[in-house]
Structure 1
Amino acid sequence: MTQPTTAETITDQVSAETVKALRAAMERLLAGRPTRTDGRLVKENLYREAGVSRATMNRAHCILADWDRRTAATGARTPGEARRDDELHDLHVELRNLKRERTQLQGRLDASATVIAALHHDNAALRDQLNGRGTVVTLNEHRAARTDTIGPC
């Protein structure tokens, strides 16, 4: 009769020194402070970070179970990757908001250009209308001419 394989019945078939090295490597990787690897949360990096062979790591059943549990909780992302992903998300939100704001400003700019063009057209029409009436005389010239004709008061 075989015994069920639960967390309590699984034992590591490695030395205490190997367990210590694998646990230390796991903590470094999960903390985002690897010393021998690129920091990705994969089993290859675990055994390389610990300085043991893959076969030795595979005999450390409790540590592998703990590794699987802890990396599943992090989504297999290092703290640096999580920060990068959060920053990317924030930048995408900011970009979306800036695009929306730019579109609104472009609409306002187009409306302003239309109003300016209409005012320019009206201004040109009024100038043409004034040019048809004759010359424009300034008040100072008009007053000076008037005092010469009427005389001083």
Structure 2
Amino acid sequence: MPVSAVTTTKLREAMARLLAGEPLHTNGALTKENLAREAQVSHATVHRAEDILAEWDAKVARPVLRSPGEVERDETIAKLRRQLRDSRSEVTELQGKFDALAVVAANLYHENLALKRKLGNSRRLASLPAPAAEPDVVRTDG
């Protein structure tokens, strides 16, 4: 089913604006979705306008070239995303270890309380023997 003359006009004007780099309703990227948005018609309507699509494909079929600055920016973004993913993974691992240590500390605390209650008021603690003093060694090899 072909599109109306009004829709064809809208699409041709939108295509001209996008190709000239002067979009009114989009970010200016040369995509069929943006053509539909720029013309303020549905995506399906664009696909029904076969003659306009053929014209669009002829004009936009060339690959989009990126400047060296854009390539460097994209590589930096990709690197930073990898670093962020790795950092998040490390934080998750460390959080797990921290939680495990907190559980161990809590268990030791409660175990200590139980032992203190068991001892009660009889605070008979055995003192450790003092280490024996070693006699001074006299060297005679001289």
TM-score, length of structure 1 as denominator length:
0.42
Query: Which is helix-richer, 1 or 2?
Result: 1
Larger Rg: 1
TM-score, length of structure 2 as denominator length:
0.45
